[in-house]
Amino acid sequence: MKIKAHTLCQILFLIFTSSSWALDVHGHRGARARRPENTLPAFEYAIEVGAQYIELDLAVTKDNQLVISHDPHISKTICLGPKGEPIKTEPLIHSLTLAQVKKYDCGTLKNPRFKTQQPVPGTRIPTLREVFMMVKKSKLPAAQKLRFNIETKIFPEHPEFTVTPAEFAKLLITELRKQNMIKRSVIESFDYRTFPEIRKLEAGIEISALTENPKEDLLETAKKLKADYISSEFNLLNAEKVKALHALGVKLAPWTVNNPKDWQHLIDWGVDAIITDDPGELLQFLKTHPVKTQ
């Protein structure tokens, strides 16, 4: 069966004009509005509700193990000590071995910021490898396509908090290669020294520049770093900035957005992803507030 040239053009026109850009939902620290942050239960919840990405933070133990923690210290707000006692002095993760880190219970205490959070008593701080293994073993269909937005927690003003950017990059890329997760991962950081070290080891991996600096020129940052994403605090964005960054081929993944009014603004501006503490709620919102067709 032959298709006339003008008919083929009409078909192609309909295909391209009817396509819509997808909005990726990133579960911030898994889903800390619903489960203890940066834990396996939080990541599993994010997968269950259909998040396309889980966002997580990395620390490095004394014995060079990659563990999931937003803070360089074990937080007394969300964790209990090895004997179930309240933590008085927050220990630096980099001063502890993995075995010592595993003694802390970071699932019993409910984060006071999130009334909807459900505690999971006895939950331990996971390693990055344990997160990957949980995803690989999951029977949920979404797990097979799940991607990872991984933040290296490095503090230039406090080098004692962790390893150097070069050492961090080597530990992370080595683990990603072992688990065959290079193509499923984006590396994000506030410390831009991380990115050259990452790219030395894995030139093609996606990187995301985190920022909360209102004076920062996001376009210059994107050009300088050759960033795939700009991940700014959401209030730093507007429609013009999103359009200008898209013109450079840069994607936008603002954080941390939990309000439907803010979700709608970002959708209208055309961001590529939204990082939220409650991925299930955002996904429900998108069912009745679909992303516009480009």
Along the 294 residues of the chain, how does pLDDT read in single tens digits? 444 444 444 333 333 333 345 899 999 999 999 999 999 999 999 999 999 999 999 999 999 999 999 999 999 999 999 999 999 999 999 999 999 999 999 999 999 999 999 999 999 999 999 999 999 999 999 999 999 999 999 999 999 999 999 999 999 999 999 999 999 999 999 999 999 999 999 999 999 999 999 999 999 999 999 999 999 999 999 999 999 999 999 999 999 999 999 999 999 999 999 999 999 999 999 999 988 755
20 exposed, middle or buried (CB, 10 Å; 0-12, 13-18, 19+)?
exposed
pTM as predicted: 0.92
H or E, element range at 251: strand 251-252
What the block records as the tokens of 177 is 């290669």
Q: What are the residues whose beta carbons fall under 8 Å from the beta carbon of 163, sequence distance 6 or more?
A: 60, 64, 94, 171
Per-residue pLDDT, 264 = 97
245 exposed, middle or buried (CB, 10 Å; 0-12, 13-18, 19+)?
buried
Per-residue pLDDT, 4 = 46
Per-residue pLDDT, 112 = 96
Which amino acid appears at position 94 of this protein? H
Domain 22-74+126-288: give its CATH architecture.
Alpha-Beta Barrel (3.20)
Per-residue pLDDT, 294 = 53
129: closest CA among 228, 210, 40, 207?
40
